[in-house]
């Protein structure tokens, strides 16, 4: 097996254990030595490994895991999401940096269940664990993190989502798809998504594309944005059914009280995604201020 693959996945598992420990012992404000011991590393190696992954020290990272930070991010995003959606940026859906485009399958394609569609899939390491990514000539149709049930379960779920499609594993082709996803600075052309869902699900996923990294929105806020203020539960169901992690950023939707809510790939991973994006956003803003 490729050593970099092992290293990246092992690094995330270390980070995940550290985040869980920091969350469980937040009131005690654990020392670096305590967290390092928990994950089985020396203080020096833990500090270096975590900082390389997060871009900041574990001590600074903790602030982005708090409910207080989440509430602040919700307030910051309150008007931004509504303005972006009202401006018509969702047809077709586009991420804030305009480097992701989202296209829904047509009604006929939806009914055909993928008949005649060739889907290439592969498994790859990411900063947040192993993922399965699948693509067609029309765009990326699935991106999920591999769960405890393993790779076979993810392949079965992909087949259930596109029951009449032809599946083929192609690591080289999918490697070219996954490479720019977790390093947007190297994204030289738009990433195209091709999604299959109900009309309401598509509207929710398009709304999520307007939430920038480092920002958060509540389920209620997304529902109001869609003109359906009483549909927060339906929004939650659509968020949970999102087939393309990270690029359709369902991890950026939380409860209005500041709690993370649910996440089909685990709450610790959701917290890791939110906090790492928030740290990167703040670092970018500081850089901008220094160079202005």
Distance CA 165, CA 67 (A): 43
Q: Judge contact between 130 and 8, C-beta under 8 A.
A: no
**Annotated catalytic residue within 77, 131, 141, 250:** 250
**Mutual angle of helices 67-86 and 267-291, in 10-degree steps:** 70
77 in active site:
no
Q: Active-site residues: which are they?
A: 250
């Amino acid at each position: 097996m490729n050593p970099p693959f092992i290293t990246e996945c092992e690094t995330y598992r270390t980070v995940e254990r550290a985040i869980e420990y920091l969350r469980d012992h937040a009131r005690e404000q654990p020392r670096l030595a305590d967290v390092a011991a928990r994950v089985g590393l020396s203080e020096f190696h833990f500090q270096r490994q975590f900082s390389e992954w997060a871009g900041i020290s574990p001590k600074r990272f903790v602030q982005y895991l708090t409910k207080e930070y989440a509430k602040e991010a919700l307030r910051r995003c309150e008007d931004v999401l509504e303005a972006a959606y009202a401006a018509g940026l969702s047809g077709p859906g586009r991420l804030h940096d305009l480097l992701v485009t989202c296209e829904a399958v047509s009604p006929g394609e939806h009914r055909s269940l993928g008949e005649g569609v060739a889907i290439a899939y592969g498994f790859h390491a990411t900063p947040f664990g192993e993922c399965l990514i699948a693509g067609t000539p029309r765009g990326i149709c699935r991106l999920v993190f591999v769960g405890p049930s393993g790779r076979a379960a993810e392949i079965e779920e992909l087949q259930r989502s596109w029951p009449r499609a032809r599946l083929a594993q192609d690591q080289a082709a999918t490697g070219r798809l996954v490479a720019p996803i977790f390093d947007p600075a190297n994204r030289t052309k738009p990433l195209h998504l091709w999604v299959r869902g109900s009309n309401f699900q598509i509207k929710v996923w398009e709304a999520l594309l307007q939430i920038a990294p480092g920002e958060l929105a509540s389920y209620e806020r997304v529902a109001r944005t869609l003109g359906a203020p009483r549909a927060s539960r339906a929004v939650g169901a659509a968020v949970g059914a999102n087939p393309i992690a990270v690029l359709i950023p369902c991890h950026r939707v939380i409860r209005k009280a500041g709690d993370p809510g649910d996440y089909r790939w685990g709450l610790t991973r959701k917290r890791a995604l939110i906090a790492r994006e928030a740290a990167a956003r703040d670092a970018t803003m500081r850089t901008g201020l220094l160079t202005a």
